[in-house]
Amino acid sequence: MAKNKPPAAAPQRTDDAPLGQGGERHQTAVSPAERTTTNHGVTISDNQNSLKAGDRGPTLLEDFVLREKIQHFDHERIPERIVHARGSGAHGYFELTDSLEGITRAKILTEVGERTEVFVRFSTVAGGAGSVDTPRDVRGFAVKFYTRDGNWDLVGNNIPVFFIQDAIKFPDLIHAVKMEADRGYPQAASAHDTFWDFVSLLPETTHMIMWAMSDRTLPRSLRMMEGFGVNTFRLLNEDDEATFVKFHWRPMLGLQSTCWDEAVKIAGADPDFHRRDLHEAIEAGDYPEWALGVQLLSQAEADALPFDILDATKLIPEELHPVRLIGRMVLDRNPDNFFAETEQVAFLPTNMPPGIDVSEDPLLQGRLFSYQDTQLSRLGTVNFHQIPVNRAKGCPMQNFQRDGHMQTQVFAGRANYEPNSLADAGEEPGPREDPTHGFRSFRAVTGDQKVRLRAESFADHYSHARLFYSSQSGIEQAHIASGLVFELSKVKLDHVVRRVLSNLRNVDEDLAARVADGLNVPLPAASAPAAEPIDMAPSPALRLIGKYEDSLAGRAIAILVTDGADARIVDAVRAAAESEGAAVKIIAPRIGGVMTDSGEPLAAGGQLGGSPSVLFDAVSLVVSAEGCAALLKESAAIDFLRDAYGHLKAIGFTAEAAPLLEAARILADDGVIDIGDDAEALIAASATRRWDREARVRTLA
Ligand code: HDD
C-alpha cells in the first residue's frame, strides 16, 4: 500500500460476522455501563485489532491498549500454594446451637442462633493447582469465620491426626511426598520412593499412614467428608481459665468414599469431579451442611490420658471424651470468581478471636509462623488482609500499620503512632488497645531450660496406629492392607520396603504379614519401638463404614437408556431416587437423547462415551431389545456395567438388558436388581456399596 494512502473501507459486517476485522459490529450505541475500558478508565474503541503501521505492518510500541492487556495477562498467575494448591471454595454461614458460655468468651461459641458468615476451602495436599481431584491424599478443610470479634480460621484436614510431631519436619515431609526432585513426577501421588523412605525412617508417621492408606483419602465428595482441627487448642473464659479443645466437623450427608480403582478412573473421566460436585450441589440449592463438634478436656483430664494431648499424631477416642455438637455450617453460595476468592483466600491459624487460643503443640507452634509468612510470596504484599475474601467483615479493622505494596486504605490525619496526644490538639487520635475485650494469651507456665528435644511423652509411635487399625471393620482393614501393597509396589528401593514392613509389625502382625504376602517378599524382623506400644480399647467411631446411616441423599443415579426404553420404568426410578434426595442423570448412546416406548422424546444429560459409571453411585439399564443389541457392540456400555459391578454399586436392569449383563459378566447378587416392577428395591440397595461382592471382583491383601 502506498504511503499515506487511506486503507480500503472495512468490510461491512452484520452481528453474525466473525470478529477480528473491524467493521460494523460495535457501531450500535454502547451505553457507558457497557463500555470496556483500560485499567485506568479510558474507553477502548477496538478490542479486536492491535495498532499497526498499516493493516499488514508491524505493531506499534505506542499501542498502550495492547501493552496493558498483554502485560496484565503475563502476570495473571501467582505462585500456587506450596501445599494444598488444588482447592475448591464456597461461602456460607455458621450458626451456634449450643452455647459454651463459661468455657469461652468467644462470642461465636456463646451466642446461640447468631449466624456468622464463613468461607470454606477444601483441598488436596500434594498435587499442583492443576492436578486432579481424586488422588489418594489427605483433604484440607479450612474454614474462615468472619466473627464479630475478628476472623477465626480453623485450618484443618479430613483426618484428625498428622504425619509428624514437630513443625521442623514439615518441609522434609512435603519435599518427600511431592514430585521427586530430579524427575518431576509423580504428581499428586505418595506411591513413590522418597515418600516411603521418609515415612519408614520416621515411625511417628505410622498412625497417619494408617489413615492415609484407608478409604478416608478417597472421598466420594467434599460434601461427604468429616473435618478436624487436628491440633489441640484452648478455650479461655472471662477469667482466662483454660479448657483444651479438639474441633470436629460432621457431614450431614454421611461419610462416603470411592474404591481405589474407581478413584483412578474418575481422575481420567472427570479431573474436576469434586470441584464440579460441590459447585453443582450449591447451584442446585442442595446446600452441604456439617455439624461442628468439640471435645473438651480439663488439664486434669488431659494429664490422665495415656498419651500427650500436645502430640498431633494422637487422637482422643470419642468413647473416652464424647464429641459435643454445638453448631451447624451450611455452604449456600458459590464464589463469583475463582481467583479472587478461592485462590486469594489466605487462612492463618493465628486468626483467633479472644476466647480461643493455641496450645504448645510443637506442630501448631510452627504453623503460627508459616501461614502468615507464605502469604507474602503467594499474594505478594503484607496488605493481603485487605483482599475482600480475607477482610474482617464482622467487625471494624483498624490499627497504625501503614503503607506497603497494594495499600488500598486511605488514612486521613496525622495519627499513625501510639501513644499520641493528638486529641489534646483536637485531632483524631486513632485506635487504642483494650485490655478487657482484647485477645489475651493463656498464661501457660513455661520458663524451663532451652532445649532441642522431643518430649519423652511423644515417644510412643505405635499405640494409636494399633488403635486405628484394630477399630476398623474387616473390609476396611483389607483396604488398608491393599492400599499399602499398592503404594509399596511402586517403591523401587527394597530396603525402604523392608523398613516399612518392620515398622508395620509393631502395629499388627497380621497386617504386616498380609502386606508382605501381597508384595511377595519375606517378612523382616520387627523394628525396635522407642516406647513399648500399648493396646487401647477399639474405637468404632474411627470407622468409615457404618458410622453414619446409609443414605442416597446427595448421590447420583445414572439411567442408561436406548430408543424404545420403557418410559414408565424410567419415571419410576427417577421418582424413587428423587424422593431420597438423589439426582438422576439420563445417559444415552447419543447426546440428543432417545425416543421412549411411549413415543415421547427423552433428553439425555450425558453421552455414554463421556459418562462412565464411575461418576455415579448406582446405575440402571432401561433399554429395548434392539437398543441392547446395539449396546453389545459398544465397549463403553460393557465397561459401564462392569465398572459399576466392580465398584460394588447397585445395578438395576429391565429384562431386555439381560444380554448386556451377561456380556459384562455380571453375577447375580442382592445388588443386581430387576427393576421391572420394583424401582424401590434398587433405591434401597443403592444407599451403600455391596461390600459382600468385593471378594468376587478383586483379591484384597
Ligand atoms: Fe498447613 C496450607 C492444614 C500443618 C504450612 N495447611 C494448609 C491448608 C490446610 C492446611 C487445609 C490449605 C489452606 C487453604 O485452603 O488455603 N497444615 C494443615 C493441617 C496441619 C498442617 C491440618 C497439621 C495439623 N502446615 C502444617 C505445618 C506447616 C504448614 C506444620 C509448616 C510449619 N500449610 C502450611 C503453609 C500453607 C498451608 C505452607 C500453604 C498455603 C498456605 O499455608 O496458605 O503455610
Point out the ligand 1 atom lying closest to the alpha carbon of residue 345.
16
CB 627 within 8 A of CB 659: no
What is the best residue among 122, 125, 155 to mutate for testing ligand 1's pocket, by most ligand atoms within 8 Å of CB? 155
Q: Which three cell numbers stand for residue 509?
A: 502382625
Which residue of 80, 83, 125 sits with most ligand 1 atoms within 8 Å of its CB, as the best mutation to test the pocket? 83
How far, in Å, CA of 87 to CA of 199, rounded?
25
307-346 core/surface letters (b: 16 or more CB in 10 A; e: else): bbbbbbbbbbbbeebebeebbbbbbeebbeeeeebbbbbb
Q: Is the pLDDT of residue 432 over 60?
A: yes
Q: Using CA atoms, how far apart are residues 652 and 176, in angstroms rounded to an integer?
A: 45
**Per-residue 3-state assignment (H helix, E strand, C coil) for 172-216:** HHHHHHCCCCCCCCCCCCCCCHHHHHHHHHCHHHHHHHHHHHCHH
Cell of 220: 466420594
Contact 584, 603 (CB under 8 A): no
What does the DSSP assignment read for 475-526?
HHHHHHHHHHHHHHHT---HHHHHHHHHHHTTT-HHHHHHHHHHHT-PPPPP
Helices (runs of H) and strands (runs of E) counted in the chain: 18, 18
Which grid coordinates are listed for 164?
A: 509428624
| Residue whose CB lies within 8 A of the most ligand 1 atoms, among 139, 157, 310, 371, for a mutation test | 371
Residue of minimum CA distance from atom 18 in ligand 1: 156
Tell me which residue has its CA closest to atom 35 in ligand 1. 371
Residue with CA closest to ligand 1 atom 44: 371
Buried b (16+ CB within 10 A) or exposed e, 22-37: bbeebeeeeeeeeeee
- Per the annotation, the verdict on 647 as an active-site residue is no
Which residue(s) pair with 88 in the sheet?
Answer: 122
Angle between helices 260-269 and 273-283 (to 10 degrees): 80
158 CA → ligand 1 middle, Å: 13
CA distances to 133, 215, 483 from 490, rounded to whole Å, are: 21, 19, 11
Contacts of 491 (CB under 8 A, 6+ apart): 191, 192, 193, 196, 497
Across 169-178, 205-214, 680-689, least confident range: 680-689
Name, in order, each residue with C-beta under 8 angstroms of 456's C-beta and a sequence gap of 6 or more. none
Residue 122 phi, psi (nearest 5) = -100, 150
Q: Position 657: which residue type?
A: A
Please report which confidence band the pLDDT of residue 4 belongs to, taking 50, 70 and 90 as the band edges. very low
Q: What is the pLDDT of residue 551?
A: 94
Pocket test for ligand 1, best of 249, 367, 385, 387 (most atoms within 8 A of CB): 367
The C-alpha atoms of residue 84 and residue 532 are separated, in whole angstroms, by: 35
Using the atom order of ligand 1, give the atom closest to the CA of residue 229.
22
Note the pLDDT of residue 678.
84
> Which residue owns the Cα nearest ligand 1 atom 26?
367
Distance 498 CA to ligand 1 centre (A): 31
Q: Give the nearest ligand 1 atom to 374 CA.
A: 44
176 grid coordinates: 518427600
- CA angle centred on 384, ends 378 and 386, rounded to 5°: 155
Burial class (CB in 10 A: 0-12, 13-18, 19+), 124: buried
How far apart are the CA of 83 and the centre of ligand 1, in A? 7
CA of residue 217 to ligand 1 center, whole Å: 17
Whether omega for the bond prior to residue 135 falls within 30 degrees of 0, making it cis, is no
Residue 315 Cα to ligand 1 middle (Å): 19
Mean pLDDT over residues 337-365, rounded? Answer: 98
Q: pLDDT class for 1, splitting at 50, 70, 90?
A: very low
Query: Which of ligand 1's atoms lies nearest the C-alpha of 140?
Result: 11
Ligand 1 atom nearest residue 369's Cα: 32
CA-to-CA distance for 369 and 383, rounded, in angstroms? 17
Residue 119: CB atoms within 10 A of its CB come to 25
Mean pLDDT over residues 267-273, rounded?
98
Q: Are 607 and 588 in contact (CB under 8 A)?
A: yes
- The string of pLDDT tens digits covering residues 586-644 is 999 999 999 999 999 999 999 999 999 999 999 999 999 999 999 999 999 999 999 99
Please tell me the distance from the alpha carbon of residue 311 to that of residue 320, in angstroms, as a whole number: 17
Q: Are strands 324-333 and 227-228 parallel, antiparallel or unpaired?
A: unpaired
For ligand 1, the distance from its centroid to the CA atom of residue 371, given in whole angstroms, is 7
Distance of alpha carbon 74 from alpha carbon 35, whole angstroms: 23
Spacing of C-alpha 330 from chain mean position: 16
Report d(CA 344, CA 362) in Å as an integer: 27
If 0-12 CB within 10 Å is exposed, 13-18 middle and 19+ buried, where does residue 569 land? buried
* Domains of the chain listed by start with CATH number: 74-390 (2.40.180.10), 464-542 (1.20.1370.20), 556-697 (3.40.50.880)
| Interval 461-473: pLDDT, tens | 999 999 999 999 9
**Nearest to 325, CA basis, from 100, 495, 655:** 100
Ligand 1: which residues within 6 Å by Cβ? 81-84, 87, 121, 123, 140, 142, 155-157, 162, 167, 170, 230-231, 312, 345-347, 363, 366-367, 370-371, 374
Q: Which three cell numbers stand for residue 294?
A: 468439640
Q: Which atom of ligand 1 is nearest to the CA of 230?
A: 24
The one catalytic residue in 26, 84, 385, 461 is: 84
Give, as one character, the DSSP assignment of residue 666.
P
Catalytic option among 157, 158, 390, 503: 157
Please give the distance, rounded to the nearest whole angstrom, from the Cα atom of residue 347 to the centre of ligand 1: 8
Joined grid coordinates for residue 145? 469465620
81 CA: nearest ligand 1 atom: 40
Listed in sequence order, the residues at least 6 apart from 655 whose beta carbon sits closer than 8 Å to its beta carbon are 674, 676
**Amino acid at site 190:** S
Please provide residue 332's backbone torsions phi and psi, each rounded to the nearest 5 degrees. -125, 10
Backbone dihedral region for residue 549 (phi beyond 0: left; psi -120 to 50: alpha; all else: beta): beta
Q: Active-site residue 464, yes or no?
A: no
DSSP 287-329: --EEEEEEEEE-HHHHHHSSS-TT-TT----TTTSPPEEEEEE
What SS3 class is residue 606? strand
> Atom 41 in ligand 1: which residue has the minimum CA distance?
371
The string of pLDDT tens digits covering residues 134-168 is 999 999 999 999 999 999 999 999 999 999 999 99
Contact 200, 496 (CB under 8 A): yes
Query: Which pLDDT band, with edges at 50, 70 and 90, does 243 fall under?
Result: very high
CB atoms within 10 A of CB 668: 9
Rounded to an integer, what distance in angstroms lies between the CA atom of residue 261 and that of residue 438? 52
pLDDT at 448 over 70: yes
Residue 141 Cα to ligand 1 middle (Å): 10
What spacing in Å lies between the alpha carbon of 170 and ligand 1's midpoint? 10
Please state, rounded to an integer, the average pLDDT across all residues of the chain: 95
Q: How confident is the model at residue 447 (pLDDT cuts 50, 70, 90)?
A: confident
Closest C-alpha residue for ligand 1 atom 42: 371
Q: How far is the CA of 166 from the centre of ligand 1 (A)?
A: 13
Q: How confident is the model at residue 668 (pLDDT cuts 50, 70, 90)?
A: very high
> What is residue 677's predicted lDDT score, i.e. its pLDDT?
75
Q: For residue range 641-662, what is the model confidence (pLDDT) as tens digits?
A: 999 999 999 999 999 999 999 9
Please return the burial class of 47, using the count of CB atoms within 10 Å of its CB with bins 0-12, 13-18 and 19+.
Answer: exposed
Res 396 pLDDT > 50? yes
Its pTM surpasses 0.75: yes
Q: What is the mean pLDDT of residues 3-27?
A: 51
Q: Which of 369, 283, 258, 404 is nearest to 333 (CA)?
A: 283
Query: What's the rounded Cα separation, in Å, for the pair 502 and 196?
Result: 13
pLDDT of res. 12: 45
Residue with CA closest to ligand 1 atom 31? 367
Closest Cα to atom 30 of ligand 1: 167
